Amino acid sequence: MPSKSSTAAATRPPDWHLLEAEDIARHHEVSLHHGLHEDDAATRRQRHGSNAIAGTDKVSAWRLLLRQFTDFMILVLIAAAGVSALLGDWSDSLAIVVVVLLNGLVGFGQAWRADRALEALKKLAPQKATVVRQGRARKVDAHELVPGDVVLIEAGDQVPADLRLAHVARLQVDESALTGESVAVEKHADALRQPVPALGDRRNMAYKGTLVSNGSARALVVATGMSTELGKIAQLMTGSDGQQTPLQRRLADFGKRLALAVLAVCAVVFVAGLLRGEPVVPMVLTAISLAVAAIPEALPAVVTVLLALGARRMASLNALVRRLPSVETLGSVTFICSDKTGTLTQNRMHVEELRSDAQEGLLLLALALCNDAEPSATGFLGDPTETALLSAAQAKGLDIDEARRRHPRLIEVPFDSQRKRMTTLHAFDAGVVAYTKGAPEVVVPLCVSRVALGGSAPIDVRAVLAEAEAMASRGLRVLAVARRAHASMPAAQTDALETELQFIGLVGLIDPPRAEAAEAVRSCRSAGITAVMITGDHPGTALAIARRIGIVPAEPASGVRLLTGADLEALSDEALRETVRACRVYARVDPTQKIRLVRALQAQGEFVAMTGDGVNDAPALKQADVGVAMGRTGTDVARESASLVLLDDNFATIVGAVREGRRIYDNIRKFVRYAMTGNSGEIWTIFLAPLVGLPIPLLPIHILWVNLVTDGLPGIALAGEAAERGVMQRPPRPPQENFFDGGLWQHVLFVGLLIGGLSLALQAWALSHSPQHAQTIVFTALTLMQMAHVLGIRSEIDSLWRIGLGSNLPLLGAVFLTLVLQLVIVYAPFAQPWFKTVPLTAYEFGLCIAASLIVLVAVEGEKGWRRARQTGTEKMAGA
């Protein structure tokens, strides 16, 4: 029985780029001139299927909706709503139901859009294709193509399938969406002599979904449908279901722990009450009320409001949120894996260096004349490299139109991928001048001299080529420019026109980095975030850009800094996991490898953001913790796969989004700190009262009211808190951190015990001085102490006086409204029967205020201790 590996090798398709086109035609039993017979094409279509990107099985809307209510915390809330209804508290029950439905609808909306990325991918497939069958060329639906079909492509066409080129005429294909290559790729029909793993280096292939930008070709279909490179990307996307966000994981863990703790406390309270001789029914109601009170049912609502407000603020920063939980996830990101082209760079070629021993004007004139680009109202139209050359000449003061009018083109020997150069002849007063530009290794050896300021001078070919190589090592695309003067029009023969040339100079071009990219990378570093470049472009170009913007040091340093797709192919998953933390630049990477990189980082416990704009980025965008797509230049596939879309295609915008994500998580933690501390105070009050010989101090209605009022508006108003001081100068949160880390559980325990102790002290005093007011005093004191607490925890470090009372007016208004409602319950005659309250004297109310001030002072004291400890740590680090 054959092994799995041998079976895979037997069924694996040949490396088409290594075979001659004629050999491939024989393999497919087809003539390159006559194509397939219609009957043969129909037979092959039955065997290989349609040339289409397959979709995924649709999940019914009802099933999607029901899935939103299976989370543990949501189930606990549903149970709490049922208990509240049994207690007759319909308003509380209704509030919980509204919260649950709101969260369910938000989740449903996100799930309903989840498969749109694949639908957008399918739209990339061209609708029509020109196929040669039975010796005749005709248009057919692209999904009818089969392996072995002969197709014709020309400028403006989308490539309808994966093709092996057989005959080309100046063919250029824009593969940026698939490979990340920033310029159109010159294609040829020759077989490659050695295996080339990167798609961008397979110059005799054209891939489904890419765009023909120039020239034409006759080609042979070698892969269709899901077997194409575009189809493989679709398979990667259907197999990548995305990850739970850090917030979702923390909420789920928080909900489970809380539910178990609440059940245990309620059981103890119930048993303790029975042992003291309390009636069974009131103790049942008290235990159930305590359970409802202990669960912060406002938490999902607060989280949703916080995320929605954060998404709104991010939109003002040009970051459009497509998946609400990703707003907070950005604050957890430890690695940002960024595509290069159009994300860190401007996605346009730019002349970086001009090197010539002659007058610069002579080199600029050559660039303007030996050039097929044309001026337009909006700049220049044509090949990106040639438009960049014209832009440079114009920027240096050359009048393009005047130069071309004075020296009209007489003849052209066009560029092709084999000759790697082009030549144009132009009329001058003294005769005719031929200008040649192309690859240095081709043009420079054709030169017999060089143009210097004093006329002509000898040329050192080796020295010029070494200079060109040095420029290329800095990531520049280098062109050599030469000329030859003729007294009259020479015979139009290539060999005669391109010999005995005079070298004019070298031109270095690059897709330059965005002006703000370097500052954004520095901001990421100060925030403890590692920026990584993952691109399909050449290693030299990638490393040069990475050095310019600070992803890697300007000077080479020890450690792994760059890996290519071929290097990744040779690494096992285990070796890759050991390497990813040290490597900062990945070049010539294909879509499968991008997902491997993201998964390797996630396996190391990192939170990964992946930015990109092309089809090749979509699977990794979906796999990453936060997928960030480009809104202007990005493809629909990338945008539908991402959870965040940058409307300005600006890498620097991510920094603002990360800051906002950290602010939002801080505010969620503040709500958890606030709600759990208040609930803890209520639990300690009820739990300890029987143990110290006091009656149960609160009725179920009191517990539910305090929980509803104090957790409601004040908690939601915490969403408006500004970012903490130094929010972008601290490292990301550890991946395993939960809500109670960082001193939160100690705060909940300490302040909760303080609130409980003060409540019992007030109860003991009231029982000896004014027994009929005891419950109302404890009820009012609990409410006021929680209002003081919410003001105190607005910052985890800074004092209330530093941040100012007026810096969050919604919170101030919520606290004031809560106080007014409490006064109405205590002093309004119509409310007293409902809540079993009695009017308090001024002295009694003053005691409640004093208790709340003690809580505020205690919270401020804790923050003062934190500040002193932080200062001490910083001094030790500085020493």
Residues involved in catalysis: 339
Q: What does the block give as tokens for 848?
A: 């409640």
Give, to the nearest 10 degrees, the angle between helix 539-549 and helix 517-526: 70
608-612 vs 335-338, strand pairing mode: parallel
C-alpha distances (whole Å) from 435 to each of 253, 314, 661 are 71, 52, 56
Q: What does the block give as tokens for 641?
A: 């796969």
CA angle 220–223–227, rounded 5-degree value? 170
Q: What does the block give as tokens for 144?
A: 């009818």
Residue among 18, 200, 173 nearest 593 (CA): 200
Query: How many DSSP H helices and E strands does the chain contain?
Result: 35, 25
Alpha carbons 315 and 324: distance in angstroms, whole number: 12
Q: What does the block give as tokens for 592?
A: 């499968």
Q: What does the block give as tokens for 341?
A: 């082209």
Burial of 501 (0-12, 13-18, 19+ CB in 10 A): buried
Alpha carbons 251 and 246: distance in angstroms, whole number: 9
C-alpha distances (whole Å) from 412 to each of 231, 416, 478, 498, 565 are 41, 12, 22, 12, 38
Alpha carbons 611 and 335: distance in angstroms, whole number: 11
Residue that is written with structure tokens 């001789």 in the block: 277
CA angle 773–788–797, rounded 5-degree value? 155
Concatenating the DSSP letter of every residue in 327-382 gives: HHHGGG--EEEE-STTTTB-SS-EEEEEEESS-HHHHHHHHHHS---EEETTEEES
Residue among 452, 419, 371, 484 nearest 170 (CA): 419
Coil, strand, or helix at residue 15?
coil
Coil, strand, or helix at residue 428?
strand
Residue among 636, 632, 660, 662 nearest 646 (CA): 632
Contact between residue 321 and residue 241 where contact means Cβ atoms under 8 Å apart:
no
Query: Phi and psi at residue 173, in whole multiples of 5°?
Result: -125, 130
Alpha carbons 531 and 545: distance in angstroms, whole number: 13
Query: Phi and psi at residue 725, in whole multiples of 5°?
Result: -60, 130
447-452 vs 128-133, strand pairing mode: unpaired
Query: Phi and psi at residue 651, in whole multiples of 5°?
Result: -60, -35
Coil, strand, or helix at residue 218?
strand
Strands (DSSP E) along 525-614, which ranges? 530-534, 562-564, 585-587, 608-612
Residue among 775, 784, 777, 778 nearest 710 (CA): 784
